[in-house]
């Protein structure tokens, strides 16, 4: 067992990370050691990242103990860089989190100042002055590289600033100079946000927190109204919306809802979240209330406005889409399913079950390109073809004269076929056997779709299967 993290008291005792616990306790017998829980630490860091989303949507995780926030264009909303940094650190301290932060023109410089400096704001042009007194570990280098630099007497970043670059590259590779340039801002280092950035977003900051569901929905409706002009200006409608609720104690709720067709209408958007709140009612805890509500558009598509007709076909489509949206929001995306055609002549692969909310938005078949289906197919296809005992007189291509299926004997009066379907060798292999399908009618007027697998010409045995019911 080794030490993975130290508090301030342990650091004053000259303990260090990766030191053995037995060695540390031999020096300080009263040392208090708590077992590390990496999964809990990760969840805690992600919760803080969610909380930081109130300042900027560009929040990235930095290892196991840090965050990067890209605040470009956001500082004026909080009174400037100094006010923003003070607000973040003060709020975190009030929640029991002792954090250190820095604002600069590059992520590498902010990381160095916050980890090995006193934090604060580094103005443009002060990067070298701020980095020079820091140890080389402030450049986020590997331990082996840091030890090698220290052996050569290069212990501080200032030593690297004045050292020739070519010998450093030959001795340690390009990582040292890359990290140095990133800290200085000479080499751009983008921040990759942990969550997708919304294409459109509106929010409301409240003077008094709210917690009742009716109040949340009423405010959501108001926010959706302010979102509508932005959607209209772009000529789009939202397909996936996200309601983000920031609780006063730092907890963040993210509630998403999808639509079958691009949507702009505020009432329908609010109705979606009314269903979602009903669905998660038991897991929804408002606590002392929410101070910020934000409505994001995570996915949008072109909004097509159609002229209505006297038969109100467009109105019927809109009603169906609204029904699918609300039911899917309440019971889940997969609660309503429909079938979508696929380009395959194998019956069990010709259709696939998809959520209805996705099927309504799928592009329609273009004129002149009919779907890969045939009218002769049965109205009910069995999930798995079932074997039957058949007796055939007309061989090799005749339909069975009678067959036994599901403990019942059927005598065939009429038949049509065979229709030979070759299997898809790229999926089933080159040895897959073809199928000969027959449409048959028994003496009771019942019609079936059966097939024979195996040929009299080359196979010693043939098998018959029931695959569908025509009527």
Q: What is the CATH number of the domain that holds 288?
A: 3.30.1490.100
Flag whether 290 is in a domain.
yes
Q: What's the pLDDT at 313?
A: 53
- Same domain? 224 vs 321: yes
Domain count, the chain: 4
- Residue 465 main-chain phi, psi, to 5 deg: -140, 145
- Same domain? 161 vs 79: yes
- Same domain? 159 vs 242: no
- Same domain? 47 vs 164: yes
- Same domain? 25 vs 43: no
Distance CA 61, CA 53 (A): 12
Half-sphere exposure of 131 (CA within 13 A, CB side): 31
Select from 160, 184, 208 the last residue of a domain: 184
What is the domain-level CATH number for residue 47? 1.10.150.20
Which secondary structure element, helix H or strand E, spans residue 440, and what is its range?
strand 435-442
Domain that holds residue 5: 1-36
Matching residue, tokens 């899917």: 328
- Same domain? 235 vs 164: no
- Tell me if the bond preceding 418 is cis, omega within 30° of 0: yes
DSSP, res 458:
T
Q: What's the pLDDT at 116?
A: 92
Flag whether 358 is in a domain.
no
Flag whether 355 is in a domain.
no
Average pLDDT for consecutive 10-residue bins of the chain (471 residues)? 87 85 89 91 94 94 92 91 95 91 94 93 91 94 92 92 90 91 90 90 93 93 94 92 94 92 91 91 88 94 70 61 87 85 84 83 55 70 91 82 93 91 86 88 93 76 90 73
DSSP, res 377:
S
Within 8 A by CB and 6+ apart from 274, the residues are 217
HEC profile for 99-119?
CCCEECCCHHHHHHHHHHCCC
Flag whether 23 is in a domain.
yes
Counting every residue, how long is the chain? 471
- Same domain? 146 vs 218: no
Transcribe 13-58 into DSSP letters.
TT--TT-BHHHHHHH-TT-------HHHHHHHHHHHHHHHTTT-S-
- Same domain? 6 vs 49: no
SS3 state at 139: helix
Transcribe 155-221 into DSSP letters.
-BHHHHHHS-HHHHHHHH-SHHHHHHHHHHTSS------SSPPPSEEEEEEEEEEE--HHHHHHHHH
Flag whether 364 is in a domain.
no
- Same domain? 117 vs 127: yes
Flag whether 373 is in a domain.
no
DSSP, res 3:
-
SS3 state at 366: coil
Q: What's the pLDDT at 362?
A: 62
pTM over 0.95: no
Flag whether 90 is in a domain.
yes
Check the CA dihedral 344-346-351-352 and report its sign: negative
Select from 151, 184, 217 the last residue of a domain: 184
Distance CA 120, CA 109 (A): 11
Within 8 A by CB and 6+ apart from 415, the residues are 398, 399, 438, 439, 440, 441
- Same domain? 217 vs 322: yes
Q: What's the pLDDT at 88?
A: 95
Select from 291, 326, 361 the last residue of a domain: 326
- Same domain? 303 vs 413: no
Q: What's the pLDDT at 206?
A: 93
Q: What's the pLDDT at 270?
A: 92
Q: What's the pLDDT at 396?
A: 76
- Cα 136 to Cα 104, 114, 115, 124, 163: the distances in Å are 19, 14, 12, 21, 13
Flag whether 391 is in a domain.
yes
- Same domain? 45 vs 177: yes
- Residue 387 main-chain phi, psi, to 5 deg: -70, 145
């Amino acid at each position: 067992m080794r030490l993975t993290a130290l508090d301030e008291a342990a650091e004053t005792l000259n303990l260090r990370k990766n030191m053995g616990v037995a060695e540390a306790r031999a020096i300080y017998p009263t040392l208090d050691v708590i077992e590390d829980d990496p999964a809990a630490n990760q969840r805690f860091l992600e919760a803080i990242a969610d909380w930081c989303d109130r300042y900027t949507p560009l929040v990235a995780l930095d290892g196991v103990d840090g965050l990067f926030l890209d605040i470009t264009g956001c500082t004026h909303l909080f009174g400037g860089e100094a006010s923003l940094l003070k607000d973040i650190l003060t709020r975190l301290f009030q929640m029991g989190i002792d954090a250190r932060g820095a604002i600069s023109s590059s992520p590498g410089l902010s990381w160095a100042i916050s980890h090995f400096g006193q934090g604060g704001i580094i103005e443009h042009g002060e990067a070298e002055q701020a980095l020079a007194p820091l140890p080389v570990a402030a450049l986020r280098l590997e331990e082996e590289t840091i030890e090698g630099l220290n052996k050569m007497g290069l212990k501080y970043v200032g030593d690297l600033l004045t050292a020739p670059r070519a010998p450093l590259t030959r001795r340690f590779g390009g990582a040292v100079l890359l990290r140095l340039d990133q800290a200085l801002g000479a080499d751009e280092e983008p921040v990759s946000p942990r969550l997708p950035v919304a294409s459109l977003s509106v929010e409301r900051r409240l003077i008094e927190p709210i917690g009742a569901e009716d109040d949340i929905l009423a405010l959501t409706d108001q926010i959706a109204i302010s979102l509508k002009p932005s959607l209209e200006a772009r000529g789009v409608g939202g397909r996936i919306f996200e309601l983000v609720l920031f609780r006063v104690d730092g907890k963040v709720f993210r509630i998403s809802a999808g639509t079958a067709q691009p949507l702009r209408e505020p009432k329908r958007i609010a109705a979606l979240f009314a269903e979602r709140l009903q669905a998660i009612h038991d897991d929804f805890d408002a606590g002392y209330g929410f101070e910020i509500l934000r409505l994001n558009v995570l996915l949008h598509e072109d909004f097509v406005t159609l002229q209505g007709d006297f038969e109100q076909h467009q109105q019927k489509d809109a009603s169906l889409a609204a029904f699918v949206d609300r039911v899917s929001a309440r019971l889940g995306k997969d609660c309503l399913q429909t079938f979508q055609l696929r380009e395959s002549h194998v019956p069990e692969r010709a259709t696939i079950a998809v959520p209805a909310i996705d099927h309504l938005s799928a592009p329609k078949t273009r004129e002149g390109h009919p779907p890969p289906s045939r009218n002769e197919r049965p109205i009910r296809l069995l999930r798995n073809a079932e074997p039957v005992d058949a007796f055939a007189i007309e061989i090799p291509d005749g339909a069975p004269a009678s067959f036994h299926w599901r403990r019942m004997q059927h005598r065939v009066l009429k038949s049509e076929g065979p229709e030979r379907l070759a299997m898809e060798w790229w999926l089933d292999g080159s040895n897959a056997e073809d199928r000969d399908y027959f449409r048959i009618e028994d003496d009771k007027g019942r019609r079936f779709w059966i097939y024979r697998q195996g040929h009299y010409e080359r196979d010693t045995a043939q098998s018959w299967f029931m695959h569908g019911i025509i009527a």
